[in-house]
Amino acid sequence: MTIDPTKTDLKKNYTSQDVAAIAGVSQSTVSRVFAGNTNVSEKKRKKILAAAAKLDYKPNAHARSLITRKTMMIGIVMRNIRNPFYSAVLEIFHNRLSARGYHLIFINSENEEIQESEITQLLEYNVEGVIITDALLSSSASQKFKRYGITVVLFNRYTEHLESSAVFCDNYLAAKQIAAYLVEMGHKSFAFVSGPSDTSTTIDRLKGFKEVLDDRKIKDLTIEPGNYTFESGYRAAQELMTRNKNIDCIFCGNDIIALGVMDAIRTIGLRIPEDVSVVGFDNIRMSEWPSYALTTWEQPLEEMVDSAVELMIKEINEKDAPMQVVMMKGHLVVRNSVRSRK
């Protein structure tokens, strides 16, 4: 029977078999396309999507999961969602996974380490994979995910004894290049406002920055703890500039810290960059606002997300796929928050 979707007397709840009939393909090929399977030619995929559009066909996710035993759900755990960097990360992950037919379950973790209740919530949704961003994954949590066959990918961080694939920026090399740039610009008295001291991000950025200063025989470095928030940056700058008025540049663990540092410095009555240079990390959208014009390090965010998604889907579909570590480089974005002191 020829299906004519323009006829109002025909059924409205079309099935994948109806789509297959119009597209001239098998029902299994239609299912593969809507499951995000890439082993379908682009020509067939376009015909299937065109047929589905004509029928206004929407796949039944629940029915599909019963047949394929796949829920097409991915969990993503974030702690510091107020940080614009992670808001951007969430948006890109949503777009990339949606395009592959996956649904994103967002968990806003309230603690540095992912909690049992959050793990339980992900298990209740029968997620096929979990992306961990700025929360810490304990060994026990990692083992629990593994026991239930759930793929885990760490994003923008890694752990010392890796039990999961990870995608992150080379923070060590980035911090070395930032330090070299500041030294070349003639700075003499340095400060670093960090994030939490137990994260790979903070450890590598401090290590790289300090290593360059040590190589140049520069000992004038003050380290002030922060928490990757605007408030912690604001407080840190007040502390630093009160204790040591000779500080002429501050490297901040991320951009949102840097914005807090800059506002605090101006409140004190100092000028940026005339009195103090400031460098951030991440290149969030606010960093290019004229009131900040922050020199910062840009991470290859879209490429990092693409890599994490590819790793996730590969490990979901191939349970024996080897764990992988992907480290990417970024580049320095020079604006107006640093001046030469030569």
Tell me the C-alpha distance between 111 and 135, whole Å: 7
Tens digit of pLDDT for each residue in 21-43? 999 998 888 877 876 666 788 88
Give all domains of the chain, ordered by start, each with its CATH number. 16-59 (1.10.260.40), 68-168+301-329 (3.40.50.2300), 171-299 (3.40.50.2300)
Q: What DSSP letter does each residue of 80-102 carry, written as one string?
A: -TTSHHHHHHHHHHHHHHHHTT-
Tell me the C-alpha distance between 103 and 34, whole Å: 12
Q: Chain centroid to CA 264: how far? A: 28
Instruction: Kindly tell me if the per-residue pLDDT of 176 is higher than 50.
Output: yes
Tens digit of pLDDT for each residue in 270-302? 999 999 999 999 999 999 999 999 999 999 999
* The model scores a pTM over 0.85: no
H or E element: which one contains 64? Answer: helix 61-68
Question: Which of the two residues, 47 and 182, has the higher pLDDT score?
Answer: 182
Question: Which of the two residues, 284 and 139, has the higher pLDDT score?
Answer: 284
Lowest mean pLDDT among 42-51, 185-194, 227-236: 42-51
Question: What pLDDT sits at residue 122?
Answer: 87
Question: What pLDDT sits at residue 113?
Answer: 75
Averaged confidence pLDDT in the chain: 88
CA distances for 313 relative to 62, 73, 135, angstroms: 20, 11, 21
Question: What pLDDT sits at residue 140?
Answer: 79
